[in-house]
Amino acid sequence: MTLVARYCDLTVVTQTAPEEWLTLASPQMPQDVLLRSGRPLLVLPYVGEFPMPPERVLVGWNASREAARALQDALPLLKHARVVEVVVFETPEDVGRLHGAVPGADIGLWLARHGVNVEVRYVPTKVGAGEALLSHAADMGADLIVTGGYGHSRIREAVLGGVTRTLLRSAPVPVLMSH
């Protein structure tokens, strides 16, 4: 699958069913394709129907290389969306390290220059960014979440968890990720 994905503009896979995450034989295909193909990955929830192109898109922005890649890859979908909300979920202590004076403003300006109807929000949080993204997606009625994938090492993700793992396991809407 990873090899074939390298020759595609976008790879579409389904989320692993919750009961399969608990077994040792759990397939790791979405993670492998994301990490090894060099292409964006659209992960569809294992149940439900979803509009394409999406009307309401939530972008999880942390100013990482992976997040920037995901926005570039999602740009055709973002241009057709009615609402694109870029949200920065971080603790106040982390903001000065990763963003300019107004977290998310620079990427919001970049999206607007590409004709995207964009809103930018900074949301201080004390919960994990993955949980915050899922909560915010439900609150805004998002049809799609766009975010970078595996911005930390696989070992750190395996030990501490991470946004990517949370979204791959639990997202109730499609997620477009790039690494």
Q: Classify residue 14: in a domain, yes or no.
A: no
Q: Give residue-wise pLDDT tens across range 113-151.
A: 999 999 999 988 877 888 999 999 999 999 999 999 986
- Between CA 134 and CA 140, with CA 136 as vertex, the angle to 5 degrees is 120
Task: Tell me the residue ranges of DSSP E strands in 38-103.
Answer: 41-44, 56-60, 83-90
The answer to whether residue 21 is domain-embedded is: no
Please give the residue that has the higher pLDDT: either 48 or 92: 48
In a domain, 129, yes or no: yes
Residue partners of 120: CB distance under 8 A and separation at least 6: 85, 86, 87, 88, 102, 104, 105, 107, 108
Domain with 117, as residue range(s), is: 54-178
- CATH code for the domain in which residue 131 is found: 3.40.50.620
The predicted-structure confidence for 103-118, as pLDDT tens digits, reads as follows 899 999 999 999 999 9
Is residue 9 one of the residues assigned to a domain?
A: no
**Per-residue pLDDT, 102:** 80
In a domain, 26, yes or no: no
Split into its structural domains, the chain has a count of: 1
- Residue 90: per-residue pLDDT: 77
**pLDDT digit string (tens) for 51-99?**
889 999 999 999 899 999 999 999 999 999 999 999 998 766 665 666 6
Measure the CA–CA gap between 76 and 10, rounded to whole angstroms.
12
Structure tokens at 15: 């989320």
- pLDDT at position 57 is 98
SS3 at position 85: strand
- pTM of the predicted protein model: 0.88
Element (H, E) at 30: helix 29-36
pLDDT(20) > 80? no
The answer as to whether 113 is a domain residue is yes
